[in-house]
Structure 1
Amino acid sequence: MDKPLHPLRIANFRAYWLSRFTGTVALSALAIVIGWQVYSLARETMSIREAAFLLGMIGVAQFVPLFLLTPLVGLVADSVDRRWIVRFTTGLLVLTAGTLGVFTWAGMLGLPALFGAAIFIGIARAFSGPAYSALAPNLVPRESLPTAIAVSSIAWQVGTIAGPSVGGLLFAIHPDVAYGTISALFVVALGAIFLIGPVPQPPAQTDRRPLIRILEGFAYVRRNRLVLAAITLDLFAVLLAGATALLPIYARDILHVGSQGLGFLAAGMGIGAASTAIFFSIRPMTSNVGVKMLIAVVVFGLAILTFGLSTNFWLSLVALVVAGCADMVSVYVRSSLIQLHTPDHMRGRVSAVSQLTISASNELGEAESGLLASLLGPVGAVVFGGVGAIAVTLLWARLFPELKRARTFDPPDNLAIEPQHGVAQP
């Protein structure tokens, strides 16, 4: 059997990878800058717990538009050229970052502008997430898809390493430098997506009403218990144990390392995740994928628990790196199962459902962390989340035995996944 073609030998995938990498760096940097500015402005007049609650509300501001738009965006990703969806949303992010930069430069920046930016980021992510996810399988042969997912995850995870560091360090130099760099990176991401040539598009489905087609995505996830288990396990684990929203509190008031230390802490999970993604791009996972996902989520919970209790900067950083490694295993398994167990004509809608749960775990996780921090303090909130993630994993192992029985990523023979046509040549 011939060795599968490596995704980076395909021109369209290289442009896709560059766009995702630069866009992720910019978005991660923008998120850390917005979080720091919100917390700093709030601390001028509020206590730590009050400012923590407001910091969590940034997550809500991003999640609400994504939640409201999810039924629509999946259908759009299955009906409209996915390249143009990403182009329009990246353009919106360019305008958002540029506007915040101008407001900061003019001394006009306030909490309303920051929350407004968070809403626009939520709208952009709502449309771009399913389009990005559904686009990748159209760029590579099916046998190369697991490697493509790992390589694409490298772009995402390396971006999460560079982004917070870039945002924190450049903001420490000057806010104008940070916003200028972020805007330029978004422009590069926009240019790269324009380099992707024509790709296969699912055939138009005119035999069913749009509402029926929208509901099909949710129904498919509900019927496929393996996909449902993978999506919901990640949802509840990260929802409970997501500590990233509280990093500004840890950097400023617990570890006392300032904005520069915040950049390193925010990059910690990305360091671990990128290292794991690089490993999987060289040696893809091939056996006992479900059990490995369960073990990884338990390790993730233990690492977050360690971070919550630590008062040493280096121990906290190591704990976040380990959490990133474990989280990448979960992301790799979940993404591979979703893409390989979903027909192409439904990938946009199923990816939208997946994105909704991911955003619920991330953005609502930030809100949950902020709310718990206002009630229990930041340490109590993180410890509660780590213990909760472990408990959910043990429960899911019993509720969904399909996870333990999942040996490989191969879908059942009766799943109709269309062969890839029009794949760009190296």
Structure 2
Amino acid sequence: MQKNDPYAALRIKEFNIFLLLRFALVFGWSMQFIVIEWEVYSLTKDPLYLGLIGFMEIIPAFTMALFAGHIVDQKEKRNLLAICIAAFSLISLGLFLLTWDKVVGDWETQNILYCIYALVFFGGFLRSFFGPTIFSLIALIVPKKIYPNAATWSSSTWKAATVTGALFAGFSIDWIGVDKTLCIVFALVTFALLITFKIKKKPILNPNIGESVGKSLKVGLQFVFSNKAILGALTLDMIAVLFGGTVALLSVFAQDILEVGSKGFGVLNASISIGSILTMFITTYLPVNKDAGKKLLISIFGFGICIIVFGASKLFWLSVLALFFSGVTDGVSMVIRQTILQLKTPDHMRGRVASVNSMFVGSSNELGAFESGLAAKILGPSVAVIFGGIMTLVTVVAIGAKNKTLRELDLTEDIEDHNV
């Protein structure tokens, strides 16, 4: 058995290029989301319009997911990613123009909003392609024996870009304004597009090129729902996001329960991300391959405990600690889930499996925010968060008891079989 190399994936030049373009893309995407939320609320002063942003994005992202997976499995991945990024650059350019006074100075607010929502809708359409394409491309860049290491670095890059992009956007709006901030987003996306071509075109490994859409989607769904390891991992993550999502209520806790104001709100948000990012980097040194199933169940169970502690806490320091460890456990589960998907998915089905994953996890983000808001309205914020944590624990225990394949899953042999 070879000694673990925490930098194995980073020794591959194309993977470094991939990480760079992914960071630039996600950093820009995160900036864009924050800026648009700010701009829409500035125009309307109505939180309902903010909810419509997520609604407009999730509709095409969810409904197109399976079809997008089919397309990804049928097409060359590098060029497909380039097309997606190029289309995303048009969205960024359009949003910049919609916030530039020289362009929309005489426009009515309602017309500006219609155009923003149209571009957000188009972005949701692209989102359905991005996930499966990126998931499939990683497997063509690195050898299978270092999939876990590559998944860890890729997840860490995504998380770091998400956090720093959102943080930078807030400062950038204050420093240079909304329009110039969106101009930076356009520059980042353009940069990502240019370096995409530093990655070579990859072979299409699907033996069923030209397969009908209906048959392709049916085969993809059958594979996911018959593979207990993949289905169990996706279900656990979906439930954790759906019921354990505290982010939507953090502003309520900061203002009304912990009474720590905007600075405390920033600390609460940051504590989750710091815990998650640190853990994902640590897992490059301490692989999670052995007894991966048990570690996944334990990490999500720990996540549920952290959510319950946060919901019950009236002390700021305890709330920060609970959120930090929720980030730690979430980071572990994210790395394990990505590793399971990479190792257990055949090359010719990666697009469709990633699409199902995006439907499970992506849609539950928006539904989780809705569930949190509705539960808080009915039960109160503290009870709503505690309820979500308990539901997470119940789900982990139920899946752990019923899904023996996931419970006893060990990925060591999957990796060692490819150590050639």
The answer to whether TM tops 0.5 is yes
Match of 1:24 in 2: 26
* Aligned residue identity for 2:351: G
Task: Please say if 1:390 is aligned against 2:393.
Answer: yes
Match of 1:71 in 2: 66
Match of 1:133 in 2: 135
* Aligned residue identity for 1:95: L
Post-superposition offset of 1:408:
2.8
**3-state DSSP class of the match of 2:64?**
helix
- Take 1:316 and 1:104, find their aligned partners in 2: how far apart are those partners? 38
- Take 1:159 and 1:339, find their aligned partners in 2: how far apart are those partners? 22
Task: Please say if 1:217 is aligned against 2:220.
Answer: yes
Post-superposition offset of 1:229:
0.5
> CA contact under 8 A between 1:245 and 1:366: conserved in structure 2?
yes
Post-superposition offset of 1:234:
0.6
* Aligned residue identity for 2:161: G
Q: Find 1:83's aligned residue among 78, 81, 92.
A: 78
**3-state DSSP class of the match of 1:281?**
coil
> CA contact under 8 A between 2:276 and 2:331: conserved in structure 1?
yes
**3-state DSSP class of the match of 1:393?**
helix
Match of 1:103 in 2: 98
**3-state DSSP class of the match of 1:284?**
coil
**3-state DSSP class of the match of 2:205?**
coil
1:185-208 superposed Cα distances (whole Å, 9 cap, x missing partner):
222222222211122321452474
Are the structure 2 counterparts of residues 78 and 28 from structure 1 closer, same or farther at C-alpha, using a change threshold of 3 Å? Answer: same
Post-superposition offset of 1:296:
1.0
Task: Flag structure 2 segments of 5+ consecutive residues without an equivalent.
Answer: none
Match of 1:405 in 2: 408
* Aligned residue identity for 2:217: I
> CA contact under 8 A between 2:74 and 2:210: conserved in structure 1?
no
* Aligned residue identity for 2:17: A
Are the structure 2 counterparts of residues 138 and 242 from structure 1 closer, same or farther at C-alpha, using a change threshold of 3 Å? Answer: same
Match of 1:361 in 2: 364
- Take 2:64 and 2:380, find their aligned partners in 1: how far apart are those partners? 33
**3-state DSSP class of the match of 2:74?**
coil
Pairing of 1:5-404 with structure 2 (within 5 A): 6-38=8-40, 44=45, 51=47, 55-106=50-101, 111-173=113-175, 174-206=177-209, 208-247=211-250, 255=259, 257-258=261-262, 265-310=268-313, 315-404=318-407
- Take 2:415 and 2:191, find their aligned partners in 1: how far apart are those partners? 40
Q: State the TM-score, normalized to the length of structure 2.
A: 0.86
* Aligned residue identity for 2:303: F
Are the structure 2 counterparts of residues 91 and 330 from structure 1 closer, same or farther at C-alpha, using a change threshold of 3 Å? Answer: same
Are the structure 2 counterparts of residues 117 and 18 from structure 1 closer, same or farther at C-alpha, using a change threshold of 3 Å? Answer: same
Match of 1:48 in 2: none
Are the structure 2 counterparts of residues 41 and 265 from structure 1 closer, same or farther at C-alpha, using a change threshold of 3 Å? Answer: farther
Post-superposition offset of 1:282:
2.1
* Aligned residue identity for 1:120: F
Post-superposition offset of 1:324:
1.7
Are the structure 2 counterparts of residues 263 and 135 from structure 1 closer, same or farther at C-alpha, using a change threshold of 3 Å? Answer: farther
In the comparison of the two structures, how many residue pairs are matched? 409
> CA contact under 8 A between 1:165 and 1:267: conserved in structure 2?
no
Post-superposition offset of 1:2:
5.6
> CA contact under 8 A between 2:27 and 2:164: conserved in structure 1?
yes
Post-superposition offset of 1:307:
3.7
- Take 2:252 and 2:178, find their aligned partners in 1: how far apart are those partners? 20
- Take 1:311 and 1:169, find their aligned partners in 2: how far apart are those partners? 30
- Take 2:312 and 2:32, find their aligned partners in 1: how far apart are those partners? 28
Q: State the TM-score, normalized to the length of structure 1.
A: 0.85
- Take 1:72 and 1:20, find their aligned partners in 2: how far apart are those partners? 23
Task: Flag structure 1 segments of 5+ consecutive residues without an equivalent.
Answer: 46-50, 421-426
* Aligned residue identity for 1:63: I
- Take 1:397 and 1:203, find their aligned partners in 2: how far apart are those partners? 33
Are the structure 2 counterparts of residues 164 and 321 from structure 1 closer, same or farther at C-alpha, using a change threshold of 3 Å? Answer: farther
- Report sequence identity in percent: 33
